Amino acid sequence: MNQQDQDERARIREAMDRILTGQALASNGSLTVVALAAEADVHRMALLKRHADLKNEFYERVRTEIHQVPEAEKRLRDTVTKLKKTIANQRAEIEELRQQVTRLTLASAVLTQQDDGQTRREPVPDNVVPFPRSTT
């Protein structure tokens, strides 16, 4: 690990301490990686790529020291809740559509059966050529 990485890591740890104690200087003090990167004066992607362990440490400290769920986790939980509702609604709609298909199939069979009885009784005009019905 080179000197630049060690300096970044030290700034990130100091920024963690400031944010967690509510004494943020360079950021809005929110409990997010974006605020941590701004507070430490490092690029957010550097924090996410090169110092992922510090990002995880930050979120773990947020959970244990402040007893709060990180914002990213809250958003993910909200998204999961919404998606579960969407899935439940779609399953109900699919079941309703399946029942409707069954009802329509039965109605079609009844109408076809009634139509077959009527066409046999009525005479067909001389200029009409009936198409053979499919057996499927």
Question: Which region holds residue 65: left if phi is over 0, alpha if psi is between -120 and 50, else beta?
Answer: alpha
pLDDT exceeding 90 applies to what percent of the chain? Answer: 43
Read off the pTM: 0.53
Task: Please determine, for residue 38, whether its predicted confidence score (pLDDT) is greater than 80.
Answer: yes
pLDDT exceeding 70 applies to what percent of the chain? Answer: 89
Work out the average pLDDT over 77-86: 96
Task: Please determine, for residue 120, whether its predicted confidence score (pLDDT) is greater than 60.
Answer: no
**Per residue in 44-69, pLDDT tens?**
998 889 999 999 999 888 888 887 87
